[in-house]
Amino acid sequence: MPDINELAEKKLKSRVRKIKKVNKSDEEKEKFFVQLGASVEIFFPNKKPEELSDSLILWTTPEGKITDAEYSYEEPENEQFVQMPVPEKDLKAFVEAFKDFTLEFDSD
C-alpha cells in the first residue's frame, strides 16, 4: 500500500490538473465552483502564543454562507487541545466583528 505522502502527492497533481482545466473554461469553472466550499481559520492575538493559541474556524458555502463554526483552544506546552462548536448566538458577534473582512489571493 502506498504511504500517505505518495497518496497526497498524487492527489495534489490531480487537483492541479483539474484547476488548470477550470482556468481554461468558463463552463468547467462554473461546474467546479458551485461545489466548492471554503474554510477560514482566524487566529486570535495572544501575549504569549507559545503558551496559548486560540482560533475561530469557519466553513462556508461558495456564496459565503457560514455552515459551521468551531472555536479551538490550545496550550502547546501542556499538549492540551480542544475544539468546540460555536453556538449560533455567539457566532453572530463574530460575524458582526468581521463583516468588513475580505480575503484576496496574491502569489507575488
- Does residue 106 fall inside a structural domain? no
Which grid coordinates belong to 101? 473582512
How many folded domains does the chain comprise?
Answer: 2
Percent of the chain scoring above 90 in pLDDT: 68
| Residue 31 confidence class, pLDDT cut points 50, 70, 90 | confident
Domain membership of residue 86 as a residue range: 37-101
- Does residue 11 fall inside a structural domain? yes
Percent of the chain scoring above 70 in pLDDT: 100
| Co-location of 47 and 93 in the same domain | yes
- Does residue 96 fall inside a structural domain? yes
Contacts of 77 (CB under 8 A, 6+ apart): 50, 51
Q: What is the pLDDT of residues 37-54, one digit of tens each?
A: 889 999 999 999 889 999
Q: What is the pTM of this model?
A: 0.72
pLDDT of residue 34: 81
Backbone angles phi, psi at 7, to 5 degrees: -65, -40
